[in-house]
Amino acid sequence: MTVRQSLEPSRLPGDYQFVHRIRTRFAETDAMGIIHHAAYLPYLEEARVAYLRHLGHPYGDVRESGQNFAVLEVSVQYRLPLGFDEVVEVHLKAGAVSRATFQLAYLLTVDGALRATAVTVHGCVDGSGRAIRLPSWIGESLGGQSAP
């Protein structure tokens, strides 16, 4: 297995650059009475989209320019369950930027207390799904956070 994931998601909110709040939905609960583990991936995605908007590069604009950020890898560590109607703070940090891929680390907390950590690895593809170079602003926006 050639895992590209190299980021280590810190458990300290202060280590992250950005935070986005999401209130959990009843539709996302399961018969265990907690938020189903698959629902976390759209939470991470919503936080990414908010982060791109914050950086001045709304994902809608990125897509209109013919670029898509494909998800190459995802890993999530579920520490404590999320419940219905909780407000989750999704902390986000970029890193490991190369010509072809970048990574994002996430910390999910509720009232500051750890619930989950995650990492996603992304590449850039054109409209037909072919891998292309990352747009230059990625390196600039995430500058100083490049992998060695």
Site residues for a second copy per CB under 8 A: 1-3, 5, 8-9, 23, 25-34, 36-38, 41-42, 45-46, 49, 58-60, 63, 68, 70-78, 81, 84-85, 117, 129
Q: Which is closer to a second copy, CB of 106 or CB of 143?
A: 106
User: Closest distance between a second copy and the C-beta of residue 143, in Å?
Assistant: 25
User: Closest distance between a second copy and the C-beta of residue 28, in Å?
Assistant: 8
User: Closest distance between a second copy and the C-beta of residue 92, in Å?
Assistant: 15
User: Closest distance between a second copy and the C-beta of residue 22, in Å?
Assistant: 10
H/E stretch holding 26 reads none
> In whole angstroms, what is the distance from residue 39 CA to residue 132 CA?
29
> In whole angstroms, what is the distance from residue 103 CA to residue 98 CA?
9
Q: Which is closer to a second copy, CB of 66 or CB of 143?
A: 66
Query: What amino acid occupies position 77?
Result: Q
> In whole angstroms, what is the distance from residue 21 CA to residue 86 CA?
10
Beta bridge partners of 123: 70, 101
